[in-house]
Amino acid sequence: MQLDQRTEKNISTLVPKAQAVARTFIISASEAMRAKGVEVKIISGTRTYAEQNALYAKGRTAPGPRVTNARGGYSNHNFGVAFDIGLFKAGKYLEESPLYAECGKIGEACGLEWGGRWKSFTDEPH
């Protein structure tokens, strides 16, 4: 299966074991979502501490809603073992959709931890 350029780029930032699981996930999720007219992309992979701190600042010292509870050095994204997905319908990003829960179950079946099950900060795309 041919993956989009953004997904390939983000997978390449992960450690090798995470790359393999990300590929297994994205192929399974893409097949399941294609029937619903939805495309699945990996929209974020490894982040620098500075990138993570900028996300942490949102909703605190920077405009926008809170998107994470993890500062730089405390996110699995900083260590190449976490990624976020995005769902797209007709090229439009779906910020919220019940389909994230379906993808979360696919991720769990691949051995991933799904952020949609977190208690303190639910993160369905993670």
pLDDT tens digits, 59-117: 999 999 999 999 999 999 999 999 999 999 999 999 999 999 999 999 999 999 998 89
Q: For 27-57, how does the pLDDT look when each residue is reduced to its tens digit (9 = 90+)?
A: 999 999 999 999 999 999 999 999 999 999 9
- pTM, whole model, 2 decimals? 0.93
Residues 6+ apart with CB under 8 A from 70: 52, 56, 77
Q: For 59-70, how does the pLDDT look when each residue is reduced to its tens digit (9 = 90+)?
A: 999 999 999 999
> What confidence score (pLDDT) does residue 46 get?
98
For the purposes of burial, counting CB atoms within 10 Å of the CB of 35, is it exposed (0-12), middle (13-18) or buried (19 or more)?
Answer: exposed
Which segments of 4-74 does DSSP mark as H helices, in order? 5-12, 16-34, 49-57
Give percent helix, percent strand, percent coil of the chain, each to the nearest 5: 45, 15, 45
Residue reference for tokens 């929209």: 43
Produce one character per residue of 70-91: b if its CB has 16 or more CB atoms within 10 Å, e if not: bebeebbbbebbbbbbbbbeee
